[in-house]
Structure 1
Amino acid sequence: MTSRKSLTLIGNYALLIVLGLLFALPFLYTLYTSVLHLEDVNKWAGISKWTFANYRLFFTNDAYNVPKWLVNTIVITALVILGNFIINPMVGFALAKLDFPGKNLIYWIVVASMMVPYHMILIPVYVNVAHLGWLNSVLGLTVPFLYQCLYIFMLRQFFMSIPNEFIEAARIDGLTKMGAFWRIVFPLAKSSLITMSILAFSGTWNSYLIPSTFTSDPAKYVLVVGLNSVKDQFFENTPLIMSGVVLTTLPILIFFFIFQKQYIEGISSSGVKG
């Protein structure tokens, strides 16, 4: 029986490894192609033929300001994550544990908002951002996105699973409702918060529609928009294009692998109680 279980376990791991490699193959091909010379594309080239000239070209050529675009992307992504890290938990906690007039109405508005494609409200958001004078600015790319209804719902579901006795005990010890939230409830949501951060990071870092709509100044571009603006110049230079893809993809993979354990825990503990 033990031998059969061992064989089953080995078979499961082997299957997972094969599937993992299949899913990773496109990125591995992209990474491999990005370090090749143009004449070596679609050929097997040894390590001695690999080069990082494509990456150096991106960061040293004045025709495209990749360092500036990269800094813009980092700043905007960091601000969006920070805003979501503060606002979404507070709203989720209020909808889960506080009693106030209109609570259920607000909750259902949040749920309904999750069903509306962002393309449908893009024009009203653009008009408001333009009226505020936030086009081609960090404010225009961050303030409208400092909260997300999906993450509010996810965190609200998690907070619903926390016993009210925890909060009542904190109140007896002299904490206010806000104090109980920040000192007791907020730390318990670590896994859900990391899950939210990973989703917000990937969504903001790779966002193209919003930055390309709200910015027209090349100096204000984020990395995805900037690289897309110059791709036509290098359409036939596959290694250079692939190096741009790696620049936009690798940070997300690194961020995910660092927090993958908490991400899985957050997914499994959220959205199971309503």
Structure 2
Amino acid sequence: METKKRLGFVSNYLLLIILGSLFALPFLYTIYTSFVTMQDVNKLSGFSNLTFQNYKLFFTNDAYNVPQWLINTVIMTALVILGNLIINPMAAFALAKLDFRGKKIVFWIVLGSMMVPYHMILIPVYVNVAQLGWLNSFAGLTVPFLYQSLYIFMLRQFFVTVPGEFIEAARLDGLTKMGAFWRIVYPLAKSSLITMSILAFAGTWNSYLIPSTLVSDPERYVLVVGLNSVKDAFFENTPLIMAGVVLTTLPILIFFFIFQKQYIEGISSSGVKG
């Protein structure tokens, strides 16, 4: 019986390793290709033939300002994540623990907005941003996205599971409702907040539709939009294109690997109770 368990354990891990390798192959190919010259594409080259020339070209060529695009992306992503870490938990806590008139209606509006594809409201968003004078600005790229209905719902499902006695005990100690939220309830949602941050980071860092619609000034491009313009100019330069793919993908992978444990905990604790 013990032998069967060990064989099952080993076979499961072997299967996971094989599947993981298959899923990793395309990205490994992308990384490899980004370090070779055009002549060595789709060929196996030695380490002596690998080069950083493609990445160097991105950061030194005056035809495209990759360093500025990278800074723009970092600022936009940081502001969006910060806003979501403040606004979404407050809204979720109100829907989970506070009693107010119209609470159910607001909750159903949140659920309903999750079912509307963003493409359907892109034109109204563009019109509003243009009327506010926020085109080609960080305000236009961040303010409309400082909250997300999906994350409000996800956090609300977690806050529902927090015992009300915690809040009542905090109130007895002299804290206000907001004080109880920030000092007691908010820290309990660490895993869910990290899960939300990872999703928000990936969605914002790789966002193309919104920045390409609201920004036309090349100096205000974010990385994905800027690299897409490079792709149009160097479509046949496969190693250069692959270097751009690595630049846009690697930060997300690093962010995920750092917080993967909390991400898994957040997924398992959010949305299972309501």
User: Residues 12-161 of structure 1 correspond to what in structure 2 (within 5 A)?
Assistant: 12-161=12-161
- Give 2:100's aligned amino acid: F
1:173 and 2:173 are equivalent in the alignment: yes
**Corresponding residue number in structure 1 for 2:220:** 220
The yes-or-no answer on 1:189 pairing with 2:210 is no
SS of match in other structure, 2:51? coil
Deviation at 1:57, TM superposition (A): 0.3
Write the letter of the residue equivalent to 1:58: F
Whichever residue aligns with residue 193 of structure 1, its letter is: L
> TM-score under structure 1 normalisation?
0.99
3-state SS, counterpart of residue 170 of structure 2: helix
Q: CA shift at 1:153, angstroms?
A: 0.1
Pairwise mapping of residues 230-249 of structure 1 onto structure 2 (< 5 A)? 230-249=230-249
Q: Which moved more, 1:226-235 or 1:107-116?
A: 226-235
- What amino acid is the match of 1:109? I
For residues 10 and 118 of structure 2, what CA distance do their matches in structure 1 show? 44
| Residue-by-residue CA offset, 1:2-47 (whole Å, 9 max, x unaligned) | 1111111111111111111111111110000000011000000111
Tell which deviates more after alignment, 194-203 or 3-12.
3-12
What secondary structure, in the 3-state scheme, does the structure 1 residue paired with 2:184 have?
A: helix
Alignment partners' CA distance in 1, 2:236 and 2:125: 37
Structure 1 residue identity aligned to 2:117: P
Paired AA for residue 154 in structure 1: M
Q: Percent identity?
A: 80
Distance 2:52 2:2 in 1: 50
The AA in structure 1 aligned to 2:259 is F
Shift of 1:173: 1.0
One-letter amino acid matched to 1:37: T
Q: Give the partner amino acid of 1:120.
A: M
So what's the TM-score if we normalise by structure 2? 0.99
Q: How far, CA to CA, are the matches of 2:138 and 2:233 in structure 1?
A: 27
* Structure 2: tracts of 5 or more residues without a match: none
Kindly state the Cα deviation for residue 272 of structure 1 after the two structures are TM-superposed.
1.0
Quote the offset at 1:249 in angstroms: 0.3
Q: Deviations over 1:107-162 (max 9, x none)?
A: 00000000000000000000000000000000000000000000000000000011
**Partner AA of 2:180 in structure 1:** A
For 1:235 and 1:136, how far apart are their aligned partners in 2? 26
Secondary structure, counterpart of 1:272 in structure 2:
coil
d(CA) in 1 for partners of 2:16 and 2:3?
20
What are the superposed Cα offsets for residues 42-79 of structure 1, whole Å, 9 maximum, x if unpaired?
00011111001000000000000000000000000000
Matches of 2:2 and 2:174 in 1, distance apart? 55
- Off by >4 Å, runs of 4+ in structure 1: none
Q: Quick one: distance in 2 between partners of 1:109 and 1:188?
A: 26
How far has the Cα of 1:233 moved from its partner? 1.7
